[in-house]
């Protein structure tokens, strides 16, 4: 039997929390989705996916379950982040309901509109990556034109996008989980190549110097 789960995220505004709760309840009743359980998180959108209980959602939701959110921005902190999570939910055949944007994605339903929605999300993700890449290149070119030396001083340990999940990556890697599964199923960001380099150059070096 399919389950309905409402995901609520706010910072500290109690009224906003209640508004999301009521909106999801009203939607579930209107659509006849049955009893809804809630995953409620009160924290900043800058927190990691694990802190925002996204991992909990992804592991709890099963095929044909329903995930209901009040608006798209509640799922992630950037377009890429949102699309990555949505694509993971689609891969699990979870029905996604986004109230404010009037979106309902049903991966198991074969129709042109559902395919169109999925393609739009994928296109937005690629667009966001391209824009980030372009902004980075333009910023570097501007700094170079001003005579600013690029790169970090010799001997500086460069920060990585994986640093915030270092303990999680190490634990999974030590348990024998493949880098492919760590990247795609447990992190949901980055690439297998960059993760491999991170493990090789940072985690392994750290162990060798321990």
Q: Could you tell me the sign of the dihedral formed by the alpha carbons of 109, 113, 117, 118, in that order?
A: positive
Per-residue pLDDT of 9-19, as tens digits, reads 876 667 788 89
The overall pTM is greater than 0.85:
no
Per-residue pLDDT of 7-63, as tens digits, reads 988 766 677 888 999 999 999 999 999 999 998 877 654 556 555 577 778 888 999
Give the strands of the sheet with 4-10, arranged side by side: 36-42, 4-10, 66-69, 95-98, 103-105
The count of C-alpha atoms lying within 13 angstroms of the C-alpha of 73, restricted to the half-sphere facing its C-beta, is 7
| Total Cβ atoms within 10 A of residue 160 | 16
């Amino acid at each position: 039997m399919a389950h309905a789960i409402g995901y609520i995220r706010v910072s500290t505004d109690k009224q906003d929390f209640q508004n999301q709760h009521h909106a999801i309840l009203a939607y579930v009743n209107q659509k006849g989705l049955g009893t809804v359980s809630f995953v409620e998180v009160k924290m900043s959108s800058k927190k990691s996916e694990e802190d925002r209980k996204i991992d909990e959602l992804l592991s709890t939701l099963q095929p044909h379950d329903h995930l209901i959110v009040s608006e798209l921005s509640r799922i992630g902190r950037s377009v890429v982040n949102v699309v990555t999570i949505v694509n993971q939910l689609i891969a699990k055949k979870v029905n996604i309901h986004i109230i404010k944007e009037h979106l309902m994605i049903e991966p198991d339903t074969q129709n042109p509109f559902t395919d169109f929605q999925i393609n739009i999300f994928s296109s937005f993700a690629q667009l966001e990556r391209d824009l980030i890449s372009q902004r980075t290149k333009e910023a570097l070119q501007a700094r170079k034109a001003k005579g600013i030396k690029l790169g970090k001083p010799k001997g500086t340990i460069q920060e990585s996008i994986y640093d915030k999940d270092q303990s999680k990556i190490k634990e999974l890697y030590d348990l024998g989980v493949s880098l492919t599964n760590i990247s795609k199923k447990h992190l949901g960001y980055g690439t297998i190549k960059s993760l491999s380099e991170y493990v090789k150059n940072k985690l392994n070096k750290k162990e060798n110097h321990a």
